[in-house]
Structures are given as structure tokens and as C-alpha cells.
Amino acid sequence: MNPMWKMFSCPYLENLRMASSVSPQQHHYQHHQQQHHQQNYSHNFGHIHLKDYGPEPFVVNINQAAKQNDYFRIALWTGNHLQITLMSINVGEDIGLEMHPDLDQFIRIEQGQGLVRMGERQDRLNFERRVYDDYAFVIPAGTWHNLINTGNVPIKLYSIYAPPQHPRETIHKTKADAED
């Protein structure tokens, strides 16, 4: 069988083959480029250089990047319509009560635990949930929200904004830097 063809593992489709969208020449070129990258840009120690990689195509171990980050906030990827930031929230601290009128936000916690509070008004946060490692929550545009670290280790998370919330290459080393 041609190695460029893949079989479905579903028993109902076992006789169907799917053609790869990559030609043998492209496959050889991509394999050569991957070997070149591994030889010259090895990530053997698991360290990811944290910076804003947007708006170029980008692949990352987001769990590893989030856990590695010690900044309050750093933009990892900023495009025209979406932004990914990493955050580290110290024990007993919070993101800070905020509301984004024109964007939706997705947050996933990779380490730590906290309390998410949301509501339609700043003085009426009537939605509360405890969140832990591997939990995610969505904040609709126009919703007041805060995340408070209630654990004994920093919360490490990534956040996706659509559209972007912060300027390209944003780095806030501390919460105080973010508030300036």
C-alpha cells in the first residue's frame, strides 16, 4: 500500500482510503525541513522561548508554555482576529475585576485552582464556580469577571481573546505593570 494513503480505523469505513494532501515531493521536503529544524533548533530541554509569534502560523505545547510562564501576562500569539496570552496568577491574587465590551474570552487553567466570578454588573457577580487544573471557562462580551487564586501554587493559564485585547508583543511582568 502506498504510504501516502491512510486507512480509517472505523470498522464501517475500513475499505475506504484517504489520500494525503501532501505529494511525495512535498513530504520529502517537509521531512528534510523538520530534520533541519530539529538539528538546529532543538527543544530537548523542553524550554519554549516565550514571545509573541503572531501573526505567523504557530504550533506549541500550550500546557508546557503556560506552566513555564512566570509573567502576569505575556502575549504568545496575536493575529488580526484572535490573541492567545499566558498568565501566572500568584497565590491569593486575582486577575482583577474587568469587562470587555466587544470581545469574547476563553480561559483554560493548566495549573492551580481558583474561584471564577461573573455577572452582568460590576456590583452583581452572581455566577461563581470553583476551577482547577484542566478546567476551562468562557466569558461572553460585556460580562464582568474575575479569577481569584484560592490555591497554594500560582495559577498558570492561557487565555484566548477574539478579537485581540492587548497590543502585539504585550508583556506585563507583574499585575502592577498591567494596571499602569
pTM of the complete model: 0.75
- Among 164, 166, 127, 160, which Cα is nearest to 143's? 127
Structural domain count, the chain = 2
Q: What is the CATH number of the domain that holds 104?
A: 2.60.120.10
Does residue 48 form part of some domain? no
Same structural domain, 159 and 111: yes
The domain in which residue 13 lies consists of 5-40
Does residue 76 form part of some domain? yes
Angstrom distance (rounded) from CA 156 to CA 77: 17
The more confidently predicted of residues 173 and 43 is 173
Angle at CA of residue 134, ends 131 and 140, nearest 5°: 60
25 — pLDDT class (breaks 50, 70, 90) = low
Same structural domain, 19 and 86: no
Same structural domain, 141 and 87: yes
Angstrom distance (rounded) from CA 70 to CA 89: 9
Does residue 50 form part of some domain? no
pLDDT tens digit sequence for 66-109: 999 999 999 999 999 999 999 999 999 999 999 999 999 999 99
